[in-house]
Amino acid sequence: MRILISGFVIFVIWCIVSAWLYNDKLLPSIKNPVTVKALPESQTNPADSLIKLKASMPGHLLIYFDFDKAKIKTDLQTDSSISEFKTWLERHEGSMLTVSGNTDLVGTAEYNKALGMKRAGIVGKYLETKGINTNRIIIESLGEGNPLSDYLSAEGRAKNRRTEISIKMQ
């Protein structure tokens, strides 16, 4: 019986203390408004400047090839896009150009990897003729591993026979 009475007394004391804590300490802090300090507008956030930098970056440039060929077909739009990349590289010293050669699924994986490298090399040489430093160009072959479209239709395979030029930030 003593155990029951002492347990009941401890329970009552616990209830009184927890009610006091809730009513006098917790409720007033919940009801008080929270003040939020606004940052001055002139302060720039590094993440915001990175977002702005990426937004101003030229997009990917795709150069398409005929089946089993590595001959580049250029036009005025390609040349203007390349000049945008050149301007970007001149303004941002830490950036590089990545030239990735891609193929369709026709042929062996080794042959397609070599053909992709050949296509990327041709485009890299073309970029050199447009005044882009070779030390700023990374040439790679993805072969058939990075399809842009399906391999079932002739149009899909034609879209996969390409070289992608993009900017890599370091």
pLDDT at 27: 77
| Host H or E run for residue 28 | helix 27-31
pLDDT at 12: 93
Task: Report strand pairing: 137-143 vs 162-169.
Answer: unpaired
Q: Which fold does the domain 58-169 belong to in CATH? A: 60s Ribosomal Protein L30; Chain: A; (3.30.1330)
Domain ranges for the chain? 58-169
Those residues with Cβ within 8 angstroms of residue 166's Cβ, 6 or more apart along the chain or in another chain: 60, 61, 97, 98, 100
pLDDT at 45: 65
pLDDT at 10: 94
pLDDT at 26: 78
pLDDT at 44: 61
Q: In this structure, how many other beta carbons lie within 10 angstroms of the beta carbon of residue 135?
A: 7
Q: Digits of tens for pLDDT over the chain (170 positions)? A: 888 899 999 999 999 998 888 888 777 777 777 777 776 666 566 666 777 777 777 788 888 888 888 888 778 888 888 888 888 888 888 888 899 999 888 888 899 999 999 999 999 999 899 888 889 899 999 888 888 777 788 888 888 888 998 888 76
User: Shortest CA distance to 118 belongs to which of 161, 168, 167, 60?
Assistant: 161
pLDDT at 122: 92
